[in-house]
Amino acid sequence: MNIILLGPPGAGKGTQARHLVEKRGMVQLSTGDMLRDARTSGTEMGKIVADVMDRGELVTDEIVIGLIREKLETTSANGFIFDGFPRTLGQADALGELLAEEGQELGAAIAMEVDDEALVERITARSTCASCGEVYNDKTKPIPADGKCSNCGSTEFKRRADDNEESLKTRLMEYYKKTSPLIGYYYAKGKLSTVDGLADIAKVQASIAKIVDEA
Ligand code: ADP
Ligand code: ADP
Ligand code: ZN
């Protein structure tokens, strides 16, 4: 079963993807994580995308499709979770072709619905464990009082350079202009499901579990 988690920045895609990995052994393919890895390892591609990402704009289709192609060709999995990909209609068409080449199908595109005000609050309060990537939130999911990651025990946490209000404005505009048409795209393909992303994390997990079980 392959699924797409579709939603604006801060909708909870990463949080839910990690849960599916843990519970179902699916493989998370986050283009955002792949691009950040490319930046920290100092590759040519990482250097090219750094400024674009910090501004909150989308990197080119060519780059992200290349990253996904490589993963699909080299990874076998009990289902992929596409987290933050596709983000444009061109990427969506390319994903359809890549899956067909691999003899795979898309089970569902799950749109996580949240309102814009909640997104600003969530993003400006987000941090992650520097070691395992567990996602925290100053308000809704604080780092444990002993300062240790509940998942791996690390005491180092980080905040993303693009998690500020200025960059978020651009990211939201990019989402509405280029990514939100994918909701209609997957509806027309009969693949769209929606969940209330404003519900608490456990409720969203339950809604997604139901969709994955039924897809
Ligand atoms: P968020 O978790 O806030 O939705 P991501 O971690 O998915 O953000 O992405 C961070 C940044 O990486 C984006 O603002 C964009 O610059 C770039 N990026 C990630 N995925 C894609 C994609 N599929 N297409 C183009 N750019 C992407
Ligand atoms: P995305 O990958 O879509 O950008 P994240 O999973 O990183 O989103 O979540 C963004 C922020 O919102 C994080 O700080 C996370 O802890 C918090 N968060 C995620 N889901 C929920 C939820 N259902 N309710 C409240 N806060 C949430
Ligand atoms: Zn951790």
Euclidean distance between CA atoms 158 and 160, whole angstroms = 7
Ligand 1 pocket, 84 CB below 6 A? yes
Ligand 1 pocket, 107 CB below 6 A? no
CB 208 within 8 A of CB 195: yes
Which tens digits make up the pLDDT trace of 169-185?
999 999 999 999 999 99
DSSP string, 21-32: HHHH--EEEEHH
Can you list the residues of the chain whose pLDDT is less than 70? Answer: none
3-state secondary structure 126-164: EEEECCCCCEEECCCECCCCCCCCCCCCCCCEECCCCCC
Ligand with an atom nearest the CA of residue 110: 2
Count of alpha carbons within 13 angstroms of residue 197, beta-carbon side? 25
CB 3 within 8 A of CB 79: yes
Euclidean distance between the first and the last CA atom of the chain, given in angstroms as a whole number = 8
Residue of 13, 36, 58, 112 with the most ligand 1 atoms within 8 Å of its CB, for mutation: 58
pLDDT value of residue 186: 98
The ligand 2 site (C-beta within 6 Å) comprises 7, 9-15, 122, 125-126, 135-137, 140-141, 200-201, 204
Q: Distance from the CA of 26 to the center of ligand 3, in angstroms?
A: 19
Ligand 1 pocket, 9 CB below 6 A? yes
* Residues in the chain, overall count: 215
pLDDT value of residue 80: 97
pLDDT value of residue 200: 95
pLDDT value of residue 134: 95
CB atoms within 5 A of ion ligand 3 belong to 129, 131-132, 134, 149, 151-152, 154
pLDDT value of residue 135: 96
Which of 215, 206, 214 has its CA nearest to residue 23? Answer: 206
pLDDT value of residue 76: 87
pLDDT value of residue 77: 87
Look up residue 108 and give its DSSP letter: E
